[in-house]
Amino acid sequence: FSSWFPNSLRIRVSAMSTGAGLVEFPLSPTSSLKIQKGDITQWSVDGSSDAIVNAANERMLGGGGVDGAIHRAAGPELKEACAKVPEVRPGVRCPTGEARITPGFRLPVAHVIHTVGPIYDADKNPEDSLRNAYQNSLRLGKENNIQYIAFPAISCGVYGYPYDEAAKVAVSTVKEFANDFKEIHFVLFSDDIYNVWVEKAKEVIGK
């Protein structure tokens, strides 16, 4: 009992529920991880130093899922800006695991960071690719003085990454960047992904 009790208590203290569908985990005295359910296209904290991350594809000209939703909400200017990102090889503006930045146009955030997660069944090392996608997005955010950044569940849609494995990579990677942002958010579209992320954050941050 004595070894169980302190751990359990610590999790309860560190994971503050601030209402339905939003949980906050302190990462450092000046930064926190927030996990919420919702539509990332409507997310912002303070506008000018905000960025949302797009789960794009290598071509970067829009697609389905969260990519399509972000392009619709940002307006056609976003596709024009993406088209101007130089190709590194024919049809590839952002290789898997890398990240690129554009303005947010009609979105409530100043910036969109486009990253490409792995196709789970096609990638030789999906874990490395997913970690790279999170790390390179966070590095680019830091270089652009972004204070508040929000991620969707990269690769957890049509790219087929198992939720539990994806959550482990996502939460452990953002934890390493605690000192670089005021808030790091996950804005998750479905109950099941939201629940997996919260449980994983309790495991990874709570200890």
- Near ligand ADP by CB under 6 A: residue from 153, 174, 198, 204: 153
Phi then psi for residue 62, to 5 deg, are 100, 170
Residue 140 C-beta: closest distance to ligand ADP, Å:
17
Beta strands in 38-171 (DSSP E): 50-55, 99-103, 111-115, 148-151
190 binds ligand ADP (CB under 6 A): yes
10 vs 106 by CB, closer to ligand ADP: 106
181 vs 189 by CB, closer to ligand ADP: 189
| Cα first-last separation, the chain | 17
- Residues forming the active site: 67
CA 186, CA 178: separation in Å to the nearest integer?
14
155 binds ligand ADP (CB under 6 A): yes
Binding residues among 157-176 for ligand ADP as defined by CB under 6 A: 157-159
11 vs 92 by CB, closer to ligand ADP: 92
Apex 100 CA angle, 97 and 104, nearest 5: 130
| Contacts with ligand ADP, residue ranges (CB under 6 A) | 39-41, 55, 65-67, 69, 117, 152-159, 187, 189-190, 193
